[in-house]
Copies of this chain bind each other. A is one copy, B any other.
């Protein structure tokens, strides 16, 4: 036992080192130093400067609220002169990270639950009641068939349906768009962000922005880059689209707010960067089902307590606000890990050289 203990003790202090040959060679020495320089350059240039390997990082936590302002005026035979304000054209009135602005519409007034001839575009033509099937509800149709064949117009007969009548006209949306005035609407986007790891909060209304400036400013990349109020047309133009064209069929716009922050620098350097792009694909060769529209209704009761509704097929632009960001701050742990990995790499260089030397001298 005593001998084993001595052995163990000796082993503890023992270490092995290879026998080293020190060789002076211009060729191999230069290669050696060059590889070392490469590794050091990689560590300093790529790991430290570009990737900021000495920093701990955190991703952004964000909250967005939006407020649209503006008035549009339409003049149609159906509605007469009509004003549209924010309560009329933003649907639904609030969403989490998104807002929708109505830009064009097909309106059908005074619909009631009743019977009317099916629209001719659905293809339910008939000559007698036998061509119509009671209770048929087809996805192409607008209601449930009553089994009767009735006059759609003077010379066309279609199956009668039980539906919200009169039916919506199956038409292309008006050009120019009815709420073309929407191009001058403005939206205030309030965005508060937080980097939880660093307990860092900021919002896109920067400290130097005061109430009087906010009341009249409009975002402009050159003159007003800090104003959080955006004109809808400007956003669409920055995405290289034409507002009036886009407004006809609607679409989806992305408002990207980027908060790339180096928190080793003064916190006032951490500012949002706005970019705008169209998100739905406007592919000219594959122009199936373009734009963005949906149907909604306003319900009324008339004098006889009967329910009537106004159906609106609304075309418009949905703005999705997307907040991205990563913040970095000096932290000892990633610094050590990266320095360690760098040293290891440096060590490996000589190991690889060793191999290389060996293979170089291998018997074939």
- Residues on A lying within 8 angstroms of B by beta carbon are 4, 7-8, 10-26, 28-30, 32-33, 61-63, 65, 67, 69-73, 81-83, 85-88, 90-98, 100, 113, 135, 137, 139-144, 162-164, 181, 184-186, 188, 190, 192, 194, 201-203, 205, 207, 209-211, 214-215, 252, 254, 279-281, 283, 285-286, 288-289, 292-303, 305, 308-309, 311, 314, 318, 320, 322, 343-345, 347-348, 350-355, 357-358, 362-364
Contact = CB atoms under 8 A, between A and B. Distances in A.
A201 B94 CA distance: 29
Given A14-B29, A87-B311, A93 B19 contact: no
A350 to B, nearest CB: 7
A17 B162 contact: no
A358 B22 CA distance: 10
Nearest first, the 4 A-B pairs at minimum CB distance are A18-B18, A63-B279, A13-B29, A93-B296
Nearest to A205: B288
Contacts of A95: 92, 95-96
Contacts of A142: 71, 85
Contacts of A184: 137, 139
A25 B32 contact: no
Given A81-B113, A92-B92, A343-B348, 15 more contacts: A7-B364, A8-B364, A10-B24, A13-B25, A15-B25, A17-B354, A19-B21, A61-B254, A63-B279, A71-B163, A87-B311, A95-B95, A96-B97, A190-B289, A192-B280
Nearest to A252: B63
A102 to B, nearest CB: 10
A14 B18 contact: no
A288 B209 contact: yes
B144 A71 contact: yes
